[in-house]
Every structure is written in C-alpha cells, then in structure tokens.
Structure 1
Amino acid sequence: MPHWELLAFDTAAHAGVFLLLAALYIFSARRQQRFPRLRRRAYLWVFVFCTGLGLLIEFLQTQMDLGRQGDWGDGISDTLGTVAGLGLMRLGQRYWS
C-alpha cells in the first residue's frame, strides 16, 4: 500500500482545509487598501505562505514525540489544496469583477 493515497479521506481533508484557507486569504488580501503591494501580489504571497505553513506543520510533526507523525504526502495534499483554492479564486475573480 502506498504511503500517500490520492483518494484517502485524510488526503482529501488536508487538501480541503488548505483550499479553504487559500481562498479566504485571497479574499482578504485582495481587499486590503493600506497594502497595495499585497493586493498586487496576493496570489504569490498566499501560495508561499500556505505551502510553507503546510510543510512546516509536517516537519514539526516529525520532530514531536506526542503520538503525531509527519507525512510528506500530507504536505503535498496541502500544496494541491492551496493551488486549487487559488485557481478557484482566480476563476471567480473574472465573474466578480
């Protein structure tokens, strides 16, 4: 059995959470009036932040000895969820603008 299953519930949950996280960050970042640089580069910053957060969580879980285990497959799922959230927001931006 592979360590990372594409259609496992855990994988889908990771992707779904990061899809929602990325979409909400874009929704917020695109409305910032005080930070025009953030508005212009919102997609890049959200991608970097969400991907880094997902990988940091998995790395920290490998270092903990509290019954949690880091799984790099979950980091991939987090990244795929982030990309899906950014893609949906980009598509939606065409209809909202």
Structure 2
Amino acid sequence: MFFRYNLFAFLWVLLILLLGLAPGKSMPATDIWDVINFDKAAHFTVFVVLSFLLIVGFSKQYTFRALRYRAELFAVLVSFVYGLLIEIGQAFIPERSLELADLVANCLGALAGWGVFYLIYKA
C-alpha cells in the first residue's frame, strides 16, 4: 500500500531527477536575468509539489506507522535531502553547477508544500 499512495510522488521524483541532472546544453538559452528568476521559481515550484505529494502519500499509507503520523516532518526532510542530492549531482554534470540559491529555493519550496497541505487539508 505504501507504493500505491506514493506513486505520484515517485513519478515526480523521477521527473525532478531527469530535469535536474540534464546536461547544461539541454537547457534553453535566454537572457541571464530571465534564467535566474525563472530558475529559482521553477526550483521552488517543483519542491512545493514534491513536498505536498509526499505528505499526502505518507499520511494515507498505513504500512509504516511512524511515517503516517509524522508525514509532514518526514516529507519535508526527504524533500530537503533530495534537493541537496540533486544539487550535488549537478556539480558532476557538464555545464551545470551546485548553486546555493537553488538549494535555498528547493528548501523554501518544501516548506511551502507543507503550507499548501495545511491550507487544503487542515484549514
């Protein structure tokens, strides 16, 4: 049942992996200021969705009791760690690099996903 309730989160994780570790040549060429703004917004949004999907999936599954009752905490932590791993992985990709601003956007997005979950399910 764990996989069933977290299927969308797993698919989203794969999408982030494919986009996050794509070579720099695959990225569209635009003005540097457009990239900075769009890039940070994209990181933020992707991790809002990831965190939200993980919280929903973790809280609905009943295979792991601790995960179910602390879904928000575990989901945000998993999102933080995954964001860090993606950024570290980018350091090994041609024309990509580890960026602290991207990591901050990932973490803020994970926290915002928690907020979205709260607004939808708890408010």
TM-score higher than 0.5: yes
| AA partner of residue 50 (structure 2) | L
Give the match for residue 27 of structure 1: 56
Cα distance in 1 for partners of 2:39, 2:84 equals 16
Shift, 1:60, TM fit: 2.2
Give the match for residue 61 of structure 1: 90
Shift, 1:65, TM fit: 4.8
- Structure 1 unmatched ranges of 5 or more: 1-6
Cα distance in 2 for partners of 1:53, 1:34 equals 22
Give the match for residue 107 of structure 2: 79
Partner SS, residue 30 of structure 1: helix
Alpha carbons of 1:65 and 1:50: their partners in 2 closer, same or farther (altered >3 Å)?
A: closer
Q: Residues 49-75 of structure 1, C-alpha deviation per residue, up to 9 Å, x if partnerless?
A: 10011111112222x152211111000
Higher helix share: 2
Cα distance in 2 for partners of 1:30, 1:79 equals 20
Q: Residues 71-93 of structure 1, C-alpha deviation per residue, up to 9 Å, x if partnerless?
A: 11000000010000011101212
**1:40 is aligned to 2:69:** yes
TM-score (normalised: structure 1): 0.83
Give the match for residue 118 of structure 2: 90
TM-score (normalised: structure 2): 0.66
Cα distance in 1 for partners of 2:45, 2:93 equals 27
Cα distance in 2 for partners of 1:92, 1:35 equals 23
Runs (4+) of structure 1 exceeding 4 A deviation are: none
